[in-house]
Amino acid sequence: MGFSSVTLCSFRNLKEQTLDLSRKNIYLVGNNGQGKTNFLEMIYYLCYAASFRTKNEKILIKNDAEYLNISAKFHHSNDKISSSIKLYQDKHQKKIKLNGKLVRDRKDIISNFPCVVFCHNDLYFVNGSPEKKRIYLDQCISLNDSIFITYLRNYKKILKERNMLLKNKKIELLDVYTHQLIETGYPIQEKRRELIQFLNEKFDTIYSEISGISENLKIVYNSSWKKSGKSKILEDIWQKKIKEIQYGITLTGPHRDSFSIMMGSNDYLNFASTGQLRIISLILRILQSEYYQISTGRLPVLLVDDVLLELDSEKRERMMKFFPRYEQIFYTFLPDDMITSSENSITYRVNNGLLEKIE
Amino acid sequence: MNTLENLISLLSRLPGVGKKSASRMAYSFLKGDEEYNLKLGQSIMELKQRIHKCHICGNFTENDICDICAATDRDITFLCVVEESQDVQMIESTGDFKGFYHVLHGVLSPLDGVGPTELGFDKLVDRIDHSSVKELILATNPTLEGDSTALYIRHILKDHDLVITRIASGLPVGGDMEYADKMSISRALKGRMKFSSDDE
Ligand SMILES: [Zn+2]
């Protein structure tokens, strides 16, 4: 089922309103800049209490408002009853209430109504910085494994401490924090490798079907720890010790890792067109949804922001063949796009922040 | 700021006390028995004057040496390292441990400026060097900081003739696996022990 209704107040440019979302397919039609993407961002915010467009959540609050407020009802088809979620954010703090109960840690809502967003910036997962690529991997895993979020938090803390020791040349503690760096970092790498193995099972087949060319692509994890096994890694870090002290920073670990799309022994980035990279970024999102579905037995909510428009109609059709199953989908369209409405869909016209149902 | 407001603001600095409960406490002092207030005030004043750290183990005591360190019927071959004095109380309340303690009064936390010097590890090493300890039990909490602290102690004592053990962690006894958090289950699995009748 998915979200059945939402009431929103002071979220970006969106007008204060209550909306019926009680269909599997929700279409948002409008010109650019009217609030379609803001609406998707609002749904994403309900799912994760975070935005996919900004880290500065204060800018989500409407210009002249003191705070934003959203509440929604959600009904998962596996569950007997529906859940309610409320989000409040002012300039200082955020409050989340799940079924009337205050949620203290954001990680406790992440697995409740997960969504997968297909947006323009997904291209960075393919041709962006290693950091963007790590975000993709970590997001995929966090969706169905909340313990992974603890792994990431622990690693981040140890890394920060270790960097401080290196910077201040407090060498006496270095051994302990190197040990801890490996202990907390190793499971992160293991999980990421497992994910990549899963991705590779289908990635190349889907790519050649959609693009129409067979390139034999493979996703490869680039580890900054060149050795495998904890004791080998320890030895390796030990040898870099002088360099690390000199630079005052931890030079290797999961925070430096990345992945590449390889064609044989060459990085596909050097050969692919922007259109081909776009297809790859879409496949990464499709596989993210499937990974979630397979490991949890639940279906995600999908948010699709214009990305399919960049493909020609033939590729678009082939793409749809591989489109993941979903609990609910939110789809943005431009006014002249063809939409086939059905009894399974609701179409909203988005105009200057106001959503109006088109019957 | 008047006297009442001042008290509320002081009380609300206590751990676990918010503005609301601080104000409830303050009003209850105001309305309550004067003798009680006097006793409470006195106890608070005397606390720091009378109680200090044991010269040997660091546990809080009113004497130079705490009751545990002064005891003659305990096993001098076991030494248990804990984070806080409260941990000594907890372990003592089980009655299962008959060795001695060493209280660190903290854990390693470089970002907060707590390093080996602040925790007085040299004192611990010195103590081990001058005693007949055979097993050192590291009972710091199973947290990131507690683990780092345990690792560091192991590291500085690696050349000593000593068995070093780490307190086990995992599922609460009588608890349901269903209600345990994932990290505890994962840790319990990693720390699993052989379950056979070999040693019967
Ligand atoms: Zn003592």
Q: Which residues of A touch B116 (CB under 8 A)?
A: 172-173
- Name the architecture of domain A120-294: Up-down Bundle (1.20)
The model's pLDDT over A175-230, given as tens digits with 9 standing for 90+, comes to 999 999 999 999 999 999 999 999 999 999 999 999 999 999 999 999 999 988 99
Structural domain boundaries in chain A? 1-114+298-359, 120-294
Name which of B111, B116, B147 is nearest A180 (Cβ-Cβ). Answer: B147
* Whether the predicted pLDDT of A97 surpasses 90: yes
Chain A residues near residue B159 by CB distance under 8 angstroms: none
Min Cα–Cα distance to chain B from A219, Å: 29
Over residues B22-35, the pLDDT tens digits come to 999 999 999 989 99
Chain B CB contacts of A183 under 8 Å are 147
Instruction: Compute the nearest-CA separation of A164 from chain B (Å).
Output: 7
Segment B58-94, tens digit of pLDDT: 999 999 999 999 999 999 999 999 999 999 999 999 9
**Count of CB atoms within 10 A of residue B43's CB?**
10
pLDDT at B198 (0 to 100): 61
Q: What is the pTM of this model?
A: 0.86
List Cβ<8 Å contacts ≥24 apart for A186-192: A186/A230, A186/A233, A187/A151, A188/A148, A188/A151, A188/A152, A188/A155, A188/A254, A189/A221, A189/A223, A189/A225, A189/A254, A189/A257, A191/A141, A191/A145, A191/A148, A191/A151, A192/A137, A192/A138, A192/A141, A192/A221, A192/A254, A192/A257
| pLDDT cut 70: percent of chain B above it | 98
Which of A148, A176, A186, A234 should one mutate to test binding to chain B, selecting the residue with the greatest count of B CBs within 10 A?
A176
Q: Which CATH number fits domain A1-114+298-359: 2.60.40.10, 3.40.50.300, 3.50.50.60, 3.40.50.10490?
A: 3.40.50.300
CATH of B72-173+182-187, one of 3.40.1360.10, 3.30.70.260, 3.90.1150.10, 3.30.70.141: 3.40.1360.10
- Chain-chain contact of B155 with A157 (C-beta, under 8 angstroms): no
**Using CB atoms, which residue from B108, B144, B155 is nearest to A154?**
B144
pLDDT tens per residue, range B109-154:
999 999 999 999 999 999 999 999 999 999 999 999 999 999 999 9
Residue from the list A157, A175, A179 with its beta carbon closest to the beta carbon of B144: A157
Low-confidence winner among A119-123, A253-257, A355-359, B185-189 (lowest mean pLDDT): B185-189
Q: A interface toward B at CB cutoff 8 Å?
A: 146-147, 150, 154, 157-158, 160-161, 164-165, 170, 172-173, 175-177, 179-180, 183-184
Mean pLDDT of A254-276: 95
pLDDT value of position A81: 85
SS3 content of chain B, % helix, strand, coil (to 5): 45, 10, 40
**Residue B183 touches partner A, C-beta closer than 8 Å:** yes
Q: Say whether A120-294 and A1-114+298-359 share the same fold.
A: no
More confident residue, A106 or B43: B43
d(Cα A28, Cα A347) in Å, to the nearest integer? Answer: 6
Topology of the domain comprising B3-50: Helicase, Ruva Protein; domain 3 (1.10.8)
pLDDT at B130: 93
Question: Looking at beta carbons, which residues of chain A come within 8 Å of B118?
Answer: none
For residues A241-267, give the mean pLDDT.
95
The full set of domain ranges for chain B reads 3-50, 72-173+182-187
Among chain A residues, CA nearest to B183: A147
